[in-house]
Amino acid sequence: MRQKAWVVWISIFLFLSPSCRPAVDHEPQSRSVPDIRSEHYVVSESRITVRRVVDGDTLILSDGMRVRLIGVDTPETKDPHRPVQYFGREASEFTRQHIEGKPVRLEYDWQRLDKYGRTLAYVYRLPDNFFLNAELVKQGYGHAYTRFPFKYLDLFRAYEREAREKGVGLWKPASGG
Contact residues for 101 (Cβ-Cβ < 8 A; gap 6+): 49, 50, 51
CA–CA gap between residue 147 and residue 141 (Å, rounded): 18
Structure confidence by residue, pLDDT tens digits, 35-72: 444 444 555 555 799 999 999 999 999 999 999 999 99
**Residue 161 known to be catalytic:** no
**Residue 118 known to be catalytic:** yes
- 89, 77 contact by CB (below 8 A): yes
CA–CA gap between residue 51 and residue 59 (Å, rounded): 8
In the set 105, 118, 135, 160, the catalytic residue is 118
Q: Which CATH number describes the domain made up of 38-167?
A: 2.40.50.90
In the set 51, 66, 76, 125, the catalytic residue is 76
CA–CA gap between residue 123 and residue 104 (Å, rounded): 6
pLDDT at 80: 77
In the set 21, 31, 52, 68, the catalytic residue is 68
Structure confidence by residue, pLDDT tens digits, 83-93: 777 877 999 99
CA–CA gap between residue 75 and residue 88 (Å, rounded): 4
Structure confidence by residue, pLDDT tens digits, 109-146: 999 999 999 999 999 999 999 999 999 999 999 999 99
**Residue 76 known to be catalytic:** yes
CA separation, residue 28 to residues 24, 106, 129, 148 (Å): 8, 22, 29, 8
